[in-house]
Amino acid sequence: METQKRPSDNYYKVLTIIRFCSRLMGVDVINPDFKFNYVTAFIVIAIAWNFLCSLYTIYKDIATDWTVLLDVFAPISCATQGFVKLCSLWAYPELYRQLAVELGQIYEKYQSLGQKYEEKLLEWNTSMKKILIAGALVYFTSSCLSLVTPLFLYIFKGERHLIIMCQMPYVDLDTNQGYFITITYNVLCVFIAAFGLYAADLYVFLYLTHSIFFYDIFELKVSDLHELLQQDTKDKRVTAVINNIAEWHQYYLDFNDKCNSIFFWTISAHIICTTLGILSTLLIIILKYWPSAYAYIFVCFVWLYMYSVLGTRVEICNDQFCDGIYDINWYDLNACDQRTVLLMLLQSQVPRIITIAGVEPLSVNTALKITRSIYSLVMMVVQFSE
């Protein structure tokens, strides 16, 4: 009979998949011997080439059509976002590695504390896998959507449209050979960019989802405390349990602080580039004809709210910790333990939220504000164009 895998085994399996994806992009920061390698160099060169092609497109058409700036900005925003995310990984390899190791130690420690802890960790495994799969589907669907419209128009109407408005030097789009070379390059750019962005986002998904899960362990610890208090309020083990709960809460706060540090540029670039991508694409729809614009703008909105939902879930987790501390039966504790609970309450009043550039919280509410601002700007442009 096959034995069920323990939660730590499932975690390390997921971590192996994440490392495999990041290794293909040259950023396996979990590897203690990680350094700049030939894969990393290839990725940097590929991004630089994409920027050069965009600059060439602007140079070629700017004299006759200034809106080429909008055409180029959509792919450039993705390339910029990808480059910033890679730089963020290169900048904090030790911290990324430390968090991954600490999560593994948490699994190994708590899976041995009893069935209820192990079951909760298995729930973590299931939820984490669902989130990672959902992220993969978002990026894969995004890539496919960007290909559908140009392919449909070429097959059924014979119209030639690029997937991304980016041309290569010395390749003439007016010839059959030049068009197919460019469209092949576009397809490669789309799928490599989608995979690269997903590989970088895997660490965001991994760490922020675990930040959300920490309250589950806190809840079990409080439940153990209450069971102990029901048996004997004078039990000497109570102080140790209270201190353990306080340490767990402090670790949760520190973990969120570390996430804010390593994801500062990643989240900022993601939200800013996605917002500018939405705005430029809407202006393209108003001012000219780009068949793939509707698919791209849908994808950008999905990207915007994908991160925002994670940030909102962290905010909810902060509230859960605050309520959970209030639920502790402090009146059954001695004065010293009550002061420990009071300290936790004070810390919970200043929640550690995930922020965008340290200014706005990463949340659905912020995403809605961004959406309203985009709408206002676009309506202003529409009025001026009329």
**DSSP β-bridge partners for residue 356:** 360
DSSP code of 159? Answer: -
DSSP code of 113? Answer: S
Q: For 270-298, what is each residue's pLDDT tens digit?
A: 999 889 888 888 888 887 777 777 878 88
Q: What is the pLDDT of residue 297?
A: 83
Whether the CB-CB separation of 164 and 75 falls below 8 Å is answered with: yes
- Using a 10 angstrom Cβ sphere, with 0-12 exposed, 13-18 middle and 19 or more buried, the burial of residue 380 is exposed
Query: What phi-psi label fits residue 80: left (phi over 0), alpha (psi between -120 and 50 degrees) or beta?
Result: alpha
Which two three-digit tokens encode residue 370?
A: 């961004």
Q: What is the pLDDT of residue 2?
A: 44
- Quote the CA–CA distance of 26 and 94 in Å, as a whole number: 16
| Pairing relationship of beta strands 360-361 and 355-356 according to DSSP bridges | antiparallel
Q: What is the pLDDT of residue 386?
A: 62
- Quote the CA–CA distance of 271 and 102 in Å, as a whole number: 28
Phi and psi at residue 356, to the nearest 5°: -105, 110
- Using a 10 angstrom Cβ sphere, with 0-12 exposed, 13-18 middle and 19 or more buried, the burial of residue 145 is middle
pTM for this entry: 0.87
Q: What is the pLDDT of residue 43?
A: 87
- Quote the CA–CA distance of 242 and 232 in Å, as a whole number: 15
Query: What phi-psi label fits residue 114: left (phi over 0), alpha (psi between -120 and 50 degrees) or beta?
Result: left
Whether the CB-CB separation of 358 and 259 falls below 8 Å is answered with: no
- Kindly report the CA angle at 260 between 254 and 261, in degrees rounded to 5? 90
CA dihedral 161, 163, 167, 170 (to 10 degrees): -70
Task: Please report, as a single letter, which amino acid is at residue 122.
Answer: L
Low-confidence ranges of the chain (pLDDT < 70): 1-4, 385-386
DSSP of 300-369, one letter per residue?
Answer: HHHHHHHHHHHHHHHHHHHHHHHHHHHTS-GGGS-HHHHHHHHHHHHHHTS----EETTTEE-SHHHHHH
Q: What is the pLDDT of residue 238?
A: 87
Q: Can you list the alpha helix ranges (DSSP code H) found in the chain?
A: 7-24, 38-61, 68-91, 93-110, 115-157, 176-231, 237-262, 264-287, 293-326, 335-348, 364-385
Q: Using alpha carbons, list the distances in angstroms from residue 224 to 104, 299, 340.
A: 23, 45, 17
CA dihedral 271, 297, 314, 360 (to 10 degrees): 40
Q: What is the pLDDT of residue 385?
A: 67
Among positive and negative, which fits the CA dihedral 79, 195, 301, 15? negative
Whether the CB-CB separation of 19 and 31 falls below 8 Å is answered with: yes
Whether the CB-CB separation of 355 and 270 falls below 8 Å is answered with: no
Hey, how many other C-beta atoms are within 10 angstroms of the C-beta on 175?
Answer: 10
- Quote the CA–CA distance of 386 and 383 in Å, as a whole number: 5
Q: What is the pLDDT of residue 19?
A: 92
